[in-house]
A and B are shown apart, each in its own frame.
Chain A
């Protein structure tokens, strides 16, 4: 190869290298821009909702029943309904979910049956929420003649979030090191004593975090409740679990699906309340996680 050829070759190589570097730099910038664009969408969403909703958000909005006149309408019934529903759902879903997780992690870990159960729970977590609504409608509303009551709603919601509660609780229980269990067994504890005195207390922060996060999913769910026939217009506060009810997301849906602009403002104000409660739940989960990470070290 002559010097001239060699020269040309290296010039060509330099050029290619420069192009590859330019492509790489552009790719890096593109990824960065696209990611932050996604974050910006969240900002736009919040800004859009806040701009439309804030003028409607006042004490009167929180303490009034829905009304045909926008400036008299409020979310009192929906807020109370949501409170009832979440409380009842937690009452059912938390013991069942944690018990299932304890069984799967501490008792029946091995074998085909356990893996079948795990696959089944993973699949249940992926079933569309509206299918749970169909189940609730047939089983609880009509089958058990519970009507469109809070109990029927809570039972439907329990089935819906149970897989998520189980998955989150299993995660928390798995984080407890095996040495803790072995130490307790070595001292002669039975399996239940190990679970009760060591595994559950040690994984409690994780369990709480998981439970709060999965309940917040029930909080925002709309479709299954509409499906099972929860009302869209309620002008009373439910006094006991057998009464009819509405929840915040349904109220928002109802207002958003009306053509008048005033009702869209009400819907936005409802969304602000919804997001505030969700944020509070998430924040408490993060606080619990943080405090726990300081308490337990292994």
Chain B
């Protein structure tokens, strides 16, 4: 039958489109592994992962990735410090306190904030946040981790707020009513009943936002600097893993050199870190979906 054959062909064509996503995943892994091996041939894995000096472009060369990881960690920690409390407060306000009309205003604002390109946040950090910081702390470098962390925090804030809001709203109304019936105040209901009930969803949101902060590139490339440094001082210039990759690709690094291979090694590390966090977040969410069903 002709119809059946067409049906089959269409299904196969659609399936082919879908399998492109598998091909993408395999492509990413293959590229990172293949070029990463080129790097591993010249630099032992141990001295890459645990070395404390990162200077792949200047003599004497050194390939310890810890300063980049430290820079990224500084950004992620600072951003979380800002975005988690603010995001949670916003989510509690949105889901527990705000009227429907206020929600109708705030939700689109969150969407707009989430849609602003990251290079805009980089500009904002460099030309607005950094001058403020330098007024407050004169020792601040022009490029500094604090400014990068603040703008990345602002950037992930709408993500945390929206996801936490969803998690809080998934807690059944009857549980709140029970708490109120026992005489709890609104604050007690929010923090001692609803929040614990939505904890897995909140946790998943926070992890997802942190993984987003790890992968964030343009804002930190503009605001946080390009000085790989093993420091915990947020007022100094640092370099994140992503900013390093951008720095190399902006210069003329010939393919096949070890400096070229470093971007794949750093990229592979970045990929593994974000993938791990996304998987953890996913797993937590799946468990939480079972909780109220």
The chain A residues found within 8 Å of chain B, CB to CB, are 20-21, 23-24, 26-28, 30-32, 34-35, 37-39, 41-42, 44-45, 48-49, 52, 95-96, 99-100, 102-104, 107-108, 117, 119-124, 126-135, 137-139, 142, 159, 162-163, 166, 190-192, 213, 216-217, 219-223, 226-229, 232, 249, 252-253, 256-257, 264, 267-268, 271, 274-275, 278-279, 282, 286
Contacts and interface: CB of A to CB of B under 8 A. Distances in A.
Contact of B89 (A31, A41, A119, A257): A31
A81 B15 CA distance: 33
How many chain B residues sit at the interface, stated as a range, is: 35 or more
Nearest to B281: A126
A192 B274 contact: no
Given A162-B21, A226-B249, A37 B14 contact: no
Contacts, number: 242
B18 A223 contact: no
B120 A271 contact: yes
A124 B85 CA distance: 28
B237 interface: no
A48 B246 CA distance: 26
A117 B161 contact: no
Interface stretch (B45-53, B171-179, B184-192): B184-192
B94 A232 contact: no
A31 B117 contact: no
A117 B117 contact: no
A42 B109 contact: yes
B190 to A, nearest CB: 7
A102 to B, nearest CB: 6
Contacts of A138: 31, 35
Contacts of A221: 117
B117 A274 contact: yes
B113 interface: yes
B7 A191 contact: yes
Interface string B11-32: 1011101101110110110011
Nearest to B208: A126
B198 interface: no
A30 B13 CA distance: 55
9 contacts: A23-B187, A28-B97, A30-B89, A48-B128, A104-B18, A117-B18, A166-B21, A220-B115, A252-B119
B274 A126 contact: yes
A227 B246 contact: yes
Nearest to B242: A130
